[in-house]
A = this chain, B = another copy of it.
Amino acid sequence: MKARVTITLKNGVLDPQGKAIEGALKGLGFAGVEGARQGKIVDLVLAETDPDKARAEVAAMCEKLLANTVVENYAVEILG
Contacts and interface: CB of A to CB of B under 8 A. Distances in A.
Contacts of A38: 40-43
Interface residues of A, number: 32
A61 to B, nearest CB: 6
A28 B66 contact: no
Given A21-B66, A32-B47, A65-B25, A40 B40 contact: yes
Nearest to A64: B28
A44 B35 contact: yes
A79 interface: no
Given A21-B65, A32-B46, A32-B57, 6 more contacts: A24-B65, A25-B65, A30-B61, A33-B47, A38-B41, A39-B40
